[in-house]
Structure 1
Amino acid sequence: MRPAAARPRTALAALLTALVLALLPAAPAHPSPAAPAAGDPTVAVSRTQAPKGGELTVSGAGWKAGALLMVLLCGQGTPEKGVVGGTNSCANTDGRAATVDPRGAFSVKLPVVAPPRPCPCVVHVSGVTGTQDVVDAGFTVAGHPTAPLPDATGDGRLAVLAAARLEGSSGFLTWFGAPPSRTLVLTVGNLGGAPVRDPVFLVGTARGVLAPGDEEQQWRGTIKPGQKARIELDVELSAGAHGDYRVSVSYGGKLLAEQPWAVGRPWGVVLFWALLALVVPAALFRTGMALVDRAGGRNRAPVPVPVPADADGPGTTAALPWFLPDSAPTENSPTTKGHS
């Protein structure tokens, strides 16, 4: 138990401490770490070689935050050339999924198994949602057969991996009949054994039961086997188009995707023609009436105005129209007679 004399000292010390803390500036709150700017995604493995039955840690950085990734161990692949043969060369049943954290990084444990194709092998990381990036890291499965990479022969086979959608909106001029336009966006993957370079897609637009009007569009880039890519294709209709349309995209004679497109009526054009139908007849009518009035005023004879008797006062007689006022006959004027 403290002595009674020490209690005032303790209370005074506590008061001084509180006063000092109140005078000191408040420490700034620690802000939450900001996500670094997204750059090129990278992948690293905890070791470059391991026997079957072991485990390795796969980590990465620079990925889009919140994206879902698929991590596979594949044969017949190198970081430079990718996976020859696509995901058919990967141990798909032993793959792992990973979610990118807010800082763009991820880490996952991957079992070391024998892929269905011989090495050289890679750890294949591809985006499932939020990103379409693909990165391969070299790896060796100890004891697994090794063979040279086969030539990338055969045909590339593209397939749609995500639902196609139309992006964009109509501008103000579309309300007055300008051509409506959109961007068709779809994600495709190469399921074949050869890379697809600069593919040419066939984009068609159709209304009702009419045959689609097709247009070829070339996408610049290379899609390696097992990789995916985001494709953006421009779609434009004719001026004044409206109604329900279907937008389709094909590759190699195969329909990849089809998307409906409801195009609104250009009401600005309807309003213009309605005003024109009212203004033009009214202007023609006014012009015609003005011409009739002008023509009638030139051909109409002046109407004589009769002057009533005593118009100039009582006792006066109006002069006849064929006599001037000074030459009107009087009572004393002699009557001209002819020669007898």
Structure 2
Amino acid sequence: MRRAVVLIALLLLLPGVPTALAADDRPTVRLSKSQAGTGGSLTVTGDGWRGRALLMILICGQSVPSRGVPGGTNSCANADGRAVTTDAEGRFRGRLPVAEPPVPCPCVVHVATVTGPKAMADAVFQVAGHAVEPLPAEAAGGRLSVLDDTRLDGSSGLLTWFGAPPTRELVLTVGNIGTEPVRNPVFQVGSAHGVFAPQWDERQWRGTLAPGRKTRIRLPVELTGGAHGDYTVSLKYGGKVLAEQPWRVGRPWGVTLFWVLVCLVVPAALFRAGMAVVDRVRPPRTRIAGPRLPRLPRLPRFPGLARRLPVKRPAEPPPAHQPAPTLPWFTPDRAPGPADGPPTSRTTPTRKGPT
């Protein structure tokens, strides 16, 4: 029992064991058929991928699993590719139609991630009836290889927010693993939007890299004006893709704000200009001639008279609950006496004159 424990500890300390364990964790691809003709289909399964990752499955020519796809997606049947999504455990299963790639075989079924961290795997496949040619020999002399992870340096400014082309610098360390020096290498930098093929631009690095030496290089990367979304920046040298880096570009909201203002200001300006033209073109107003009426003479004003005249106020109506007063009627036998009040008139006796 002790010997077994000691043996396991020694194996773990060996430098080759971590590499073997890491190799087992790499994503794998399995095919239901190793050969099929055009018009057929095969089932592609895989394991060890990132969970919920979007993958692209292609049939590529002039490729072997040990060398990958030297020509990039230009040597693949892109029109007949299929996209699949892995499950939570990193497994997938999909059907792929068999199509002839644009270059001769040997061929592989190439599976690679579309977004996020890059991962890829290849499986040997033979397209029946398709031409087969030997792979081109690798060029002798200096060979460049990426020694560490790449990154994009830089940030977006105010002009980028208004639709200016986004720019970055692709920074990476390369080493010469060949036997001859490399002088003024010309790299190809490509940018791809989503699942589309990258557009390559040549970038030359000035300098000489001796065998066994390494250096850090910076290459400019520029997108088109108004670009936004998920992009992938790739670096290729000697027909081989050396590195890939994802780049998420924000939306230029300044352009949207500009068009909103245009939609509000331009109609208002056109309306005001149209009203000004209408005011200038419209004829002036003319008065209609008609019979003149004679002027009435002005009445004289007497301000003092209005003050002297009494103001006749309207009588107030009696209240509704009191009856209106009536005039008294008297008869000869019921005339008011002294007790009732003072007499209304005093009578004097008539004197008789001489008869």
Greater Rg, structure 1 or structure 2? 2
Q: TM (normalized to structure 1)?
A: 0.44
Considering fraction of residues, name the structure with more strand. 1
What is the TM-score of this pair, normalised by structure 2? 0.42
